[in-house]
Structure 1
Amino acid sequence: MLSTPDMTDLGSGGYLSCLWEEWLGLDDLQGYLSYLDYLLWVFTPLAVVFILPGFILLFVYLSILFLHVYKRKNQLREAYSNNLWDGARKTLATLWDGHGKIWHGYEIHGLEKIPDKGPAVIVYYHGAIPIDYYYFLAKVILQKGRMCHAVADHFVFKVPGFRLLLEVFSVLHGPREECVRALQAGHLLAISPGGLREALFSDETYPLLWGRRQGFAQVALDSRAPIIPMFTQNLREGFRSLGNLRPYRWLYERFRLPVAPVYGGFPVKFRTYLGDPIPYDPNLTAAELADKAQQAVQDLIDRHQRIPGNVLQALLERFSTGHKQD
């Protein structure tokens, strides 16, 4: 039977606390509350870093929804205009450009190296989420007045609802001949040779996981287009992947399922750097050109990225003007 505390010694609050302790079988109510506080302190940040990447996906789907609305509104004009989607592209580019400025203080260095007309292959490092490419594309559309075709993994084309977005922004899944045709027509073409493997398995030390891929180099040679290297500082500090954990790596290697969770969404400083163009040289083989392009991207990493990357340092760079470079 529960003992009854002396009401003369306890106020109503103390009496309820005493009963609460006895009912729960706890000797120290303060210890219980401290434990709850500890759980909240530990799990709330974990929940946030896994939720924030979902907002990027939500933003992408909102972009797709806008395209569908735009398409319905302008369907009667489609027969009279060859540039039906220009307004939609510029509107979405403005939205993504604003997102980059507000959330990441996004900067781009070397945009003048992108030609005002004519073909070029932009070769870039692939982050856990290629959000830097979205920001880069927005700058190209708004400041250069050009579209940039892109090569994406087959997996992207299987994501529900993405088809219209991929069509409007000229995303290709290959093959090589289609890429060559785009360049011969005078378009820009963006390729990440590391692809999904680099997105999943690279980390804060920024290794390039290109293997012996040479297809992009052969495309550049066949179309006589220059290659422009590109890298975004702190990209892995913004979003990171758990792909190196054994179960996720096994699923990808065995079934090609890119199911590794991505976490982050931290508002770190993003700076995209474009290196000097590698001109067309008929004397180079595809293997030699691929090695040359990989070294050019590696040079940008070595020059502009602290290794290993640090989230706190990348956050502090939002408030400083200096950045790593030789």
Structure 2
Amino acid sequence: MSELSDAVRARLKAWTYELGGPGTRARLDKITAPANEFGVDPYGFDLDFAVAAVAPLTWLYRKYFRVELHGVDNVPAEGRVLLVSNHSGQLPFDAAMIEVALLVQKDPPRVVRALVERWVPTLPFVSTFMARCGQIVGTPENCRRLLAADEAILVFPEGVRGLNKPFRERYQLRRFGPGFMRLALESGAPIVPVGVVGAEEQAPALLDLKPLARLLSFPAFPITPTLLPFPLPARYHLHFGEPLRFTGSPDEDDAELERKVAEVQAAVAALLERGLAERKHVFW
């Protein structure tokens, strides 16, 4: 069984290298896996596992969503950083595409830790898989430790309010929560705004069956023209803005904190506006 598992992992890794294009293996070999004094990642991240597991997502990235990158060099090559993005599409393919972009296409590559909701670890098998791929529950303490270790964190301040919004409200940002700004001020980490264009059209939500969502303990149960989790092949455009740096205390008054949060939200909105104006069609 172990030999079979090793063979499958090796084949998946080869698929990642193939889909990533020339130089992918050499770029990925540059990554140093995060580890504590005992030589392991305290959150369960396994770089070798992640490179294999990302193969199907890399296929989606290259062949299905045909992702186009804009401004990826705005993401620092090293050091702590917060990537702050809009969120949409019913299922978090937007997070996956951002992570694949920075792992497979950026040179040198960056491992990005996406923050997940507290209910995700309650899902059988999914929680272990996501942990081994580097995802973490978005508690302040987890974020502080990762930023102190100079890692990159992907944050969606809209949360599920953005992910599950109805199609008629596409590309209308929900109000950003202030938690990411407190972390940035506390750690001195720059904020890179990210605008994702395309995810809104992958699974248009016609309505949300809230009673069924409550029964299943889900944040939402959207009804879409597609059969979730199968998205439509909308073309993705990922826009990375210039890093924003803020100074001040994480305990400053709410008005000042909200002003800074609004500045980041405006930067994401501007990326979305530009991306929507530049794209020629939803699907090509």
TM-score normalised by structure 1 residue count: 0.64
Equivalent in 205, 208, 223 of residue 173 of structure 2: 208
Give, in angstroms, the shift of residue 188 of structure 1.
0.3
**CA–CA separation in structure 1 for the residues paired with 2:260 and 2:100:** 28
Equivalent in 293, 314, 318 of residue 264 of structure 2: 293
Q: What is the DSSP-based 3-state SS (H/G/I as helix, E as strand, rest coil) of the residue aligned with 2:84?
A: strand
Q: What is the DSSP-based 3-state SS (H/G/I as helix, E as strand, rest coil) of the residue aligned with 1:239?
A: coil
Counterpart of 1:18 in structure 2 is none
Check whether the contact 2:85–2:155 (CA below 8 A) recurs between aligned residues: yes
**CA–CA separation in structure 1 for the residues paired with 2:160 and 2:211:** 12
Give the alignment of 1:161-172 within 5 angstroms.
Answer: 161-172=125-136
Q: 1:167 to 1:256 in 2, by over 3 A?
A: closer
Equivalent in 62, 74, 81 of residue 101 of structure 1: 62
Does residue 1:186 correspond to 2:150, yes or no?
yes
CA distances 1:209-263 after superposition (whole Å, capped 9, x unpaired): 125x211111111111011111221211122223x44x438956xx764222344
Q: What is the DSSP-based 3-state SS (H/G/I as helix, E as strand, rest coil) of the residue aligned with 2:222?
A: coil
Counterpart of 1:225 in structure 2 is 189
Check whether the contact 2:112–2:134 (CA below 8 A) recurs between aligned residues: yes
Q: What is the DSSP-based 3-state SS (H/G/I as helix, E as strand, rest coil) of the residue aligned with 1:183?
A: helix
**CA–CA separation in structure 1 for the residues paired with 2:113 and 2:140:** 13
Does residue 1:138 correspond to 2:100, yes or no?
yes
Equivalent in 80, 90, 101 of residue 119 of structure 1: 80
Give, in angstroms, the shift of residue 313 of structure 1.
3.6
| RMSD of Structure 2 on Structure 1 (CA) | 3.2
Say which one has the larger Rg.
Answer: 1
Check whether the contact 1:94–1:138 (CA below 8 A) recurs between aligned residues: no
Structure 1 segments of 4+ aligned residues over 3 angstroms from their partners: 80-84, 249-252, 261-264
Does residue 1:271 correspond to 2:242, yes or no?
no
CA distances 1:238-296 after superposition (whole Å, capped 9, x unpaired): 22223x44x438956xx764222344422221111111111132378432221111111
Counterpart of 1:31 in structure 2 is none
**CA–CA separation in structure 1 for the residues paired with 2:270 and 2:71:** 15
Does residue 1:302 correspond to 2:273, yes or no?
yes
Counterpart of 2:199 in structure 1 is 235
Q: What is the DSSP-based 3-state SS (H/G/I as helix, E as strand, rest coil) of the residue aligned with 2:87?
A: coil
Give, in angstroms, the shift of residue 169 of structure 1.
2.4
Counterpart of 2:222 in structure 1 is 260
**CA–CA separation in structure 1 for the residues paired with 2:123 and 2:277:** 34
Counterpart of 1:314 in structure 2 is 282
Does residue 1:86 correspond to 2:47, yes or no?
yes
**CA–CA separation in structure 2 for the residues paired with 1:95 and 1:183:** 29
Which region of structure 1 is more displaced relative to structure 2, 227-236 or 277-286?
Answer: 277-286
Counterpart of 1:282 in structure 2 is 248
Check whether the contact 1:132–1:272 (CA below 8 A) recurs between aligned residues: no
How many residues are treated as equivalent by the alignment?
236
**CA–CA separation in structure 1 for the residues paired with 2:204 and 2:48:** 33
CA distances 1:134-181 after superposition (whole Å, capped 9, x unpaired): 122112222333211121112322222112122112222232122122
Q: 1:300 to 1:133 in 2, by over 3 A?
A: same
Check whether the contact 2:120–2:127 (CA below 8 A) recurs between aligned residues: no
Identity of aligned residues (%): 19
Q: Which has the higher helix share?
A: 1
TM-score normalised by structure 2 residue count: 0.72
